Amino acid sequence: MTHSNAVVTQPDVVKGGFTVGLRIGGREISICRDYRKRYYTPNPIIEWRTGHASGYLELLFLRIWLIRLCAAR
């Protein structure tokens, strides 16, 4: 079963106007626009990195969309 949540607690995600939060089983997926200033040139198509908190995985897609994966709280 899929639940949609619009409540996101990460401060850099709240800045954007479009955020989608999904909970699928024991996982949460958050999709939003990326507004962070990057001091390096990210890969043009896809880039993976660990999140600021433990247990988070961030995917930067097309240098615009930030997808966060984590265990449900």
Burial track 4-30 (b if 16+ CB lie within 10 A, e otherwise): eeeebebeebeeeeebebebeeeebeb
- pTM for the predicted model, two decimal places: 0.66
Query: In whole numbers, what is the pLDDT of the chain averaged over residues?
Result: 78
What would the pLDDT profile of 2-21 be if each residue is shown by its tens digit? 544 444 445 454 555 678 88
pLDDT of residue 61: 92
